[in-house]
Amino acid sequence: MSQPRIKRCVGKYEVGRTIGEGTFAKVKFARNSETGEPVALKILDKEKVLKHKMAEQIKREIATMKLIRHPNVVRLYEVIGSKTKIFIVLEFVTGGEPFDKIVNHGRMREDEARRYFQQLINAVDYCHSRGVYHRDLKPENLLLDAYDNLKVSDFGLSALSQQVREDGLLHTTCGTPNYAAPEVLNDRGYDGATADLWSCGVILFVLLAGYLPFDDFNLMNLYKKISVAEFTCPPWLSFSAMKLITRILDPNPMTRITIPEILQDEWFKKDYKPPVFEEKVDTNLDDVEAVFKDSEEHHVTEKREEQPTTMNAFELISMSKGLNLGNLFDAEQGFKRETRFTSKCPANEIIHKIEEAAKPLGFDMRLENVKAGRKGNLNVATECGWISLWGNDEFHTI
């Protein structure tokens, strides 16, 4: 028999399976019960966030994503909170990661990699124009939608332009070492835009080559390779692709190619399609502050409901003793005489005749909820005065 299903709701969202999990957050599939739209629900434990002093980082991530409305960036719909949890409602992206394609099929063709790289540069250029620097660009933070379009996600390490110090640079060392720019690793301050661009170059190399340009088990050796851009392009790359990668992976941020220059590059421009997006952006951050408040008026309702047990046709039939097939398989039960028949007569007529036959035997019989199923007439079975009626969509007991 099927077990009862527990339905969990957070406000208007019905929460389903887990689709991702990190140190401080869990991401679940959810559905907007009002519109039916699927979403990704990023769930954070409020106590953990406050304990590890991550409140400002979470606020920054939400504020960052609210500033961005671009077709190649995962969209944030809203942020809500309960007494113990913070819920970030995000666009549900169904196509997996570009990295999965590399793992399963190896390196990409240049035209395929170029299309993803063009969309990545479009997204990064838009973010930079809004004063937002990602700082952790890598294949794992890139997703694909149902139409195979790239979406940048996970702004947990992003920085806003307000965090730039008096020297005009950022100073927090963060990100994944293999994708981090030399100036980020040397801890002397860096420009967020040129650092993001280096990461884009590493991503392009991985898409085209199928492996990392900088890799070493020893972290110090890895840093040395990155600091002098010690890498070799594979021989199957076209000259124009090699040239672009070399200009991006320039260890000197002052001479590194810029995004406007990339947009004019011969290899990049092939089949290029500018992005189309809406300019209107919601910059209201009231809900961001509200989720950290203890006032009940700012809390969303969390509830669990037990759904009715579902029963398929075979489980339903097995409840009828008249349809017990045990005698066919169990020799020890002995032989039991049974008579079965079919009739074209209406169900009411059959019941009437059964009642007439049962009265002389002392049975007091009555039929409840007699009606034909919407897909056809009911069938009837009898056994020692116990009668079951079943049809395509109805079940009755006398």
- Binding-site residue ranges for ATP: 42
Instruction: Name the residue among 65, 64, 41, 71 with its Cα closest to residue 151.
Output: 71
- 302/283 Cα distance (integer angstroms): 27
Residue 191 is a catalytic residue: no
Return all residues near 342 (Cβ < 8 A) that are at least 6 apart.
none
Give the integer Cα–Cα distance in Å for 390 and 388.
7
For 241-310, give the DSSP string: HHHHHHHHS-S-TTTSPPHHHHHT-HHHHTT--------------HHHHHTT---GGGBPPEEEEEPPPP
Q: Are 130 and 78 in contact (CB under 8 A)?
A: no
Q: Cβ distance 181 to 195 under 8 Å?
A: yes
Whole-number Cα distances in Å, 337 to 126, 341, 375: 81, 14, 32
List, as one string, the DSSP characters of 180-224: --HHHHTTS-B-HHHHHHHHHHHHHHHHHHSS-SS--SSHHHHHH
**Beta carbons of 205 and 108 less than 8 angstroms apart:** no
**Neighbouring-strand partners of residue 85:** 45
Kindly tell me the burial class for residue 249, based on how many C-beta atoms sit within 10 Å of its own C-beta (0-12, 13-18, 19 or more): buried
- CA distance linking residue 119 with residue 125, whole number of Å: 10
Interatomic CA distance for residues 256 and 254, integer angstroms? 6
- The catalytically annotated residue of 45, 100, 125, 136 is 136
Task: Check residue 88 and report its DSSP letter.
Answer: E
Q: Are strands 302-306 and 6-10 parallel, antiparallel or unpaired?
A: antiparallel
Residue 253 CB coordination number (10 Å): 18
What's the token pair of residue 283?
A: 């910059």
Active site residues: 136
